[in-house]
């Protein structure tokens, strides 16, 4: 931006008509809000309204920076992050064990396995044909008698 009045303001959007605030925050503030970088839509295309909203956000960030409870909040936030990581890990392991259980169930009931495929020999083909010939002769005989009679 050309002036300090427009500092941290960026035109974005489909037609570059909406102002956003973009600012990197300190570690102290990032431990409170959970982000290292702020990128927020100011939902306006007027520069004066965007400046006013930006100033409000910057004042709020300054209060976070200067507040005494931010250190306590950061400690609590780190503890909650550790517990949330543990719960997400527990959730991931639970889901993975469920997937493994489903795989073992599917594998145990399967009677057709790729490893057990064999190329049929000449004798096995002849046996299957010999098993179907008497049945097919009976069906053909019944069909002919039905058509003639």
| Residues of the domain holding 145 | 120-149
Rounded-to-integer distance, Cα 22 and Cα 27, Å: 16
73 and 102 part of one domain: yes
Question: Is residue 54 within 8 Å of residue 76, measured between CB atoms?
Answer: no
What's the predicted TM-score (pTM) here? 0.43
3-class DSSP assignment, residue 37: strand
pLDDT band at 70 (very low <50, low <70, confident <90, very high): low
DSSP lists the bridge partners of residue 21 as 9, 40
Contacts of 139 (CB under 8 A, 6+ apart): none
Contacts of 78 (CB under 8 A, 6+ apart): 31
pLDDT tens digits, one per residue of 1-42: 445 678 888 888 777 888 888 988 888 887 777 888 888 888
Res. 69: pLDDT tops 70: no
Token pair of 107 as six digits: 């594998």
DSSP 8-state secondary structure symbol assigned to residue 149: -
Q: Domain total for the chain? A: 3
Rounded-to-integer distance, Cα 123 and Cα 105, Å: 35
Which of 47, 67, 87 finishes a domain?
67
Supply the Cα-derived Rg of the chain in whole angstroms. 37
33 and 48 part of one domain: yes
Distances (CA, A) of 24 to 20, 35, 43, 49, 131: 13, 9, 20, 22, 81
Res. 78: pLDDT tops 60: no
113 and 124 part of one domain: no
Whole-number mean pLDDT of the chain?
76
Length of the chain, in residues: 149
8 and 63 part of one domain: yes
């Amino acid at each position: 931006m050309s002036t300090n009045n427009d500092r941290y303001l960026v035109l974005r959007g489909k037609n570059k008509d909406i102002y956003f605030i973009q600012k990197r925050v300190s570690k102290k503030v990032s431990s409170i809000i959970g982000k290292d970088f702020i990128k927020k839509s100011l939902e306006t295309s007027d520069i004066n309204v965007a400046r006013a909203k930006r100033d409000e956000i910057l004042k709020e960030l300054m209060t976070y920076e200067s507040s005494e409870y931010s250190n306590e909040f950061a400690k609590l936030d780190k503890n909650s992050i550790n517990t949330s990581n543990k719960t997400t890990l527990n959730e991931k392991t639970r889901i993975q064990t469920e997937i493994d259980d489903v795989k073992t169930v599917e594998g145990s009931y399967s009677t057709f396995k790729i490893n057990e495929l064999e190329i049929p020999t000449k004798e096995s083909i002849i046996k299957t044909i010999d098993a179907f010939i008497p049945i097919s002769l009976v069906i053909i005989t019944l069909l002919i008698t039905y058509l003639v009679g």
